[in-house]
Amino acid sequence: MRIHIRKDYQKYASLRLDEARPISQIIKMVGIDRDEVLSYKINHRKYVNEDYVPNGETLIRCITARHPEGFRIYQNTGIYILSKALYTLLGEKHSLVVEHSIGDGLFCEVFNSERFTMEDCQRLKAEMISIIESDIPIERIEVKSSEALDIFSSMNRNDVMKNLKAHYLDTVPIYRCGKYYDFFIGPLADRSSFFKEFDLEYQEPGFILRFPEGEDFKLAAPYSLPKKLFQLHQEHDKWLDILGVHSIDDINQLIESYEISQFILVEEALHEKKIAEIAADILLHKDVRLILIAGPSSSGKTTFAKRLSVQLQASKAKPIVLGMDDYFLGRDKTPRKENGDYDFESIYSIDIEFLNMQLKQLLEGERIELPFYDFTRGIRRMSNNYVKMEDDNILIIEGIHGLNDELTPLIPRANKTKIYISALNQLNIDHHNRIPTTDCRLMRRIVRDHQYRGYSAEETLKRWRDVRAGEEVNIFPYQENADYMFNSSLTYELGVLKKHIWKMLWSVPPTSRAYTEALRLIRILSHCTDIADSLVPYNSIIREFTNGSIFRY
């Protein structure tokens, strides 16, 4: 029997066994430290623990916290230990809600109790440390649905009960640690001691569960709250309170009661109102002649720029939109990644000198000829398209580097304004099972890549790691530089995307390294009810990814 072992992305060893052995013995034979490994993935198909005994030729992937899948397991294990600690301190009368990511952590709130204080936060951290040091097993067990409902009823977990009643029939996979039970749609580590590095940062009205980052997997010190981004999240949370929606089940109830069309109109109106407010405020600043729009992949930057242009025109301004891609350097000057591929996401792939020269000429009232980039040949040509700015004109540039001051060093700060846009989802499956913002953007991208580029879901899933790595370098460090922030997330969008993505995800072959990631997205979408495309307004940001938009792309 041949066993192939990989640690995260790297090949580690291959060996032939005369008899079947559990994974714990196999990794010991090749010198892998079990304390580093959060979970084991077999043949790209399923996660198992170290007691699993492979049968036949097998690929074992040892997943550590430095791997994206492992980091997700690490986060969920941390949430589990957090909720167990809070349950020990406050019992079933409290309600812990994991709301959204912020900086290097997750913002959480405690409801149904007195105001959560700094002292409560310190007690909670001490209890978590006690659980971690006790090295308690975290067991995944299958129980009958009726038994699961009894368990979560006794714990006052109505959020889980609604979910189980709607989506699980005979048995339910739940996690047990001592006498504490919880439900997670993804895998957890086998023992509490695997969750080593963390911190709790008090942040009224709740706290932030922080996680280590980087190659050394350490907590950044001192902690710095992204204040503008946090404020945007809090604003969106108020929207959700007004709309009365916080979970997928709430959306499903609106569909079932035929109220979803009105809900969609209200949510889209909130988007339009926010865009109109941004446009009006920009025009109050008479010196501003350049608008820079930036955000991570699949945030809806292009549609936002077009809708902002409409609002500016409604206020008698005349926008001129410049394409950032048209200012790429030629292929011979484009920087490359370590593996030799062109690094088109680097700011140094842009001809910054030429861009700034043209911007400066425009702002000084000169007439210029715009460039056009020929991606087939990898060269920039002039377009025979001339523009000149009048008093009522305003420039708009949309691209990933808009918030980085290195992009427009020759343009005075008073003459430009910066807008950050991202799809900051705050919709949960239940109180402890959040849907990460990156997942919403990933699903948007899978649909768009298939619709407009002919890519399969498998291809997009495999590329996503590189996309995310580029965002960490080129976008997220600059988000607090923004003058305005816009959340492009639409609470109802997963029901729309599901119809487009469902078959594509199931088409990812079990032999692919993207298979378990496809299954994870399927598990999320399985909780969503379909929403017809016909209910989506034609200027909606979602139309950028599906089809039928009133805008041309």
CATH number, residue 27: 3.10.20.30
Q: Residue with structure tokens 């007439």?
A: 367
Distances, alpha carbon 73 to alpha carbons 37, 187, 190, 439, in Å = 11, 6, 10, 15
Coil, strand, or helix at residue 244?
coil
Residues in the chain: 553
- Which parts of the chain sit beneath pLDDT 50? none
Question: What is the CATH number for 213?
Answer: 3.30.980.10
Helix (H, G, I), strand (E, B) or coil at 141: strand
Domain end position, chosen among 184, 208, 225: 225
* Predicted confidence (pLDDT) per residue in 10-44, tens digit: 877 888 888 888 999 998 888 998 888 999 999 98
Residue 552 falls within a domain, yes or no?
Answer: no
Q: Please count the structural domains in the chain.
A: 3
Using an 8 Å Cβ cutoff, are 528 and 252 in contact? yes
Q: Are residues 278 and 195 in the same domain?
A: no
DSSP annotation of 96 reads E
Last residue of a domain, one of 184, 201, 225: 225
Phi, psi dihedral angles at 47 (to 5 degrees): -95, 140
- What confidence score (pLDDT) does residue 430 get? 94
- The answer to whether residues 418 and 482 touch, using CB atoms and an 8 Å cutoff, is yes
Q: Give the chain's end-to-end CA distance (angstroms, integer).
A: 54
**How confident is the model at residue 445, as a pLDDT?**
97
Strands 58-64 and 37-42: antiparallel
With vertex at residue 228, the alpha carbon angle to CA 241 and CA 311, rounded to the nearest 5 degrees, is 75
pLDDT at 344: 86
Residue 115: what pLDDT? 82
Domain co-membership, 417 together with 491: yes
Domain match, 339 and 272 both: yes
Q: Domain holding 491: CATH number?
A: 3.40.50.300
Give 223's contacts (C-beta < 8 A, 6+ positions apart).
Answer: 103, 199, 201, 208, 210
236/221 same-domain check: no
- Regarding whether 119 and 21 lie in a shared domain, the answer is no
Determine which helix (DSSP H) or strand (DSSP E) holds 398, and give its type and residue range: strand 393-398
One domain for residues 363 and 402: yes
Q: Judge whether 182 lies within some domain.
A: yes
pTM of the predicted model as reported, rounded to 2 decimal places:
0.92
**Which tokens go with 409?**
């060093």
Tokens of 527: 């909780």
The answer for residues whose C-beta is within 8 angstroms of residue 87's C-beta and 6 or more apart is 94, 155, 180
Q: How many other CB atoms are found less than 10 A from the CB of residue 480? A: 15
Task: Mark which of 183, 205, 225 sits at the end of a domain.
Answer: 225
Looking at the structure, tell me whether residues 280 and 237 fall in a common domain: yes
Residues 265 and 312 reside in one and the same domain:
yes
Give the range of the structural domain holding residue 325, as residue numbers without chain letter: 230-544
Residue 81 belongs to some domain of the structure: yes
